[in-house]
């Protein structure tokens, strides 16, 4: 049973989206609605997603969040979650990101998957994901939780679109043939200083496992991953705070480099 009625879900969807669009902090939703369920949280997220589409925005893909043990420990939550990617979240290599449009952004290195065929659960596994993958790309997600002082729980994070805000895509696409995504190494530098190191195995043991999990989670709502969708598989590195003027460069083994700047 849902604990929140449709009107409350609509209100909270606008509440979270307004904070994202206008870049201001809010307190976690469960402070006011302690009995809300995980289903409520995803209903809020999907309602905000529909609101964006109604305004003419395109949903270009999905993201998995809290997929590494480091990330779950950092944020104090037990399970991964997902969110959607809107068209205006997307930036290319060499971009300048306006930090005034964000609240307290952090950056994390990810491997992005683009599918050549639909992928649906339940029962989706890593082999299904690898068979359905057209190519992978290097990416950096810029997360920006709207919650004040990063005080939140998993339900509030889900309602807030899993902290989605921006992402930067590298220019190199690679077939997964011959790539070992589990051992693929990543080095993140900010202003020339190495701040994070990681490997693909940080994402649930293998990044494709996160994509399979996403397909199975979407199946619970009667949804699926579609051919051509851009999917961020989850953070390889712990999230690192950034400020205006920072230059971010992330080097991916076999996938090239992604660089951008906050202005």
All structural domains of the chain with their residue ranges: 6-93+100-182+201-236
pLDDT for 1: 52
Q: Is 195 helix (H, G, I), strand (E, B) or coil?
A: strand
Sign of CA dihedral 42, 82, 225, 51: positive
Tokens for 112, please give them.
């992005």
In whole angstroms, what is the distance from residue 82 CA to residue 62 CA?
A: 7
Q: Return the closest-CA partner of residue 114 out of 97, 98, 138.
A: 138
The DSSP string of 5-33 is -HHHHHHHHHHHHHHHHHT--B--GGGT-
Phi, psi for 28 (deg, rounded to 5) = -65, 140
Identify the CATH number of the domain defined by range 6-93+100-182+201-236: 3.90.850.10
pLDDT for 68: 74
Q: Return the closest-CA partner of residue 252 out of 109, 114, 96.
A: 109
H or E, element range at 198: strand 193-199
pLDDT for 144: 96
Q: Any idea how long the chain is?
A: 263
Give, for all 263 residues of the chain, the pLDDT tens digit.
568 999 999 999 999 999 999 999 999 999 999 999 999 999 999 999 999 999 999 999 999 998 977 667 776 776 789 999 999 999 999 999 999 999 999 999 999 999 999 999 999 999 999 999 999 999 999 999 999 987 788 899 999 999 999 999 997 999 999 999 999 999 999 999 999 999 999 999 999 999 999 999 999 999 999 999 999 999 999 899 999 999 999 999 999 999 999 99
In whole angstroms, what is the distance from residue 21 CA to residue 69 CA?
A: 30
Q: Identify the bridge partners of residue 249 per DSSP, sorted by sequence position.
A: 189, 259
pLDDT for 60: 97
Q: Which residues of 173-205 are buried (b: 16+ CB within 10 A; e: fewer)?
A: ebebeebebeebebbbbbeeeebbebbbbbbbe
- Tokens 């921006």: give the residue: 166
């Amino acid at each position: 049973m849902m604990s929140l009625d449709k009107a409350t879900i609509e209100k909270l969807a606008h509440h979270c989206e307004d904070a994202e669009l206008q870049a201001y902090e809010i307190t976690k939703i469960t402070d006011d609605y302690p009995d809300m369920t995980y289903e409520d949280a995803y209903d809020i997220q999907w309602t905000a997603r529909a609101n964006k589409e109604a305004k003419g925005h395109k949903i270009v893909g999905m993201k998995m969040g809290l997929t590494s043990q480091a990330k779950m420990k950092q944020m104090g939550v037990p399970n991964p979650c997902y969110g959607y990617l809107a068209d205006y979240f997307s930036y290319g290599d060499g971009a300048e990101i306006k930090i005034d449009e964000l609240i307290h952004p952090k950056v994390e290195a990810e491997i992005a998957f683009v599918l050549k065929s639909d992928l649906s659960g339940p029962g989706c596994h890593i082999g299904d994901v690898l068979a359905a993958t057209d190519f992978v790309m290097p990416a950096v997600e810029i997360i920006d939780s709207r919650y004040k002082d990063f005080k939140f729980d998993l339900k509030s994070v889900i309602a807030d679109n899993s902290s989605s805000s921006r992402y930067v895509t590298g220019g190199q696409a690679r077939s997964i043939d011959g790539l070992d995504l589990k051992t693929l190494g990543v080095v993140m530098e900010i202003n020339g200083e190495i701040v994070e190191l990681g490997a693909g195995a940080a994402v649930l043991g293998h990044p494709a496992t996160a994509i399979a999990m996403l397909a199975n989670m979407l199946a619970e709502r009667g949804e699926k991953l579609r051919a051509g969708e851009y999917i961020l598989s989850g953070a390889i590195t712990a999230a690192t705070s950034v400020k205006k003027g920072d230059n971010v460069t992330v080097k991916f083994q076999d996938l090239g480099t992604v660089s951008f700047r906050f202005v």
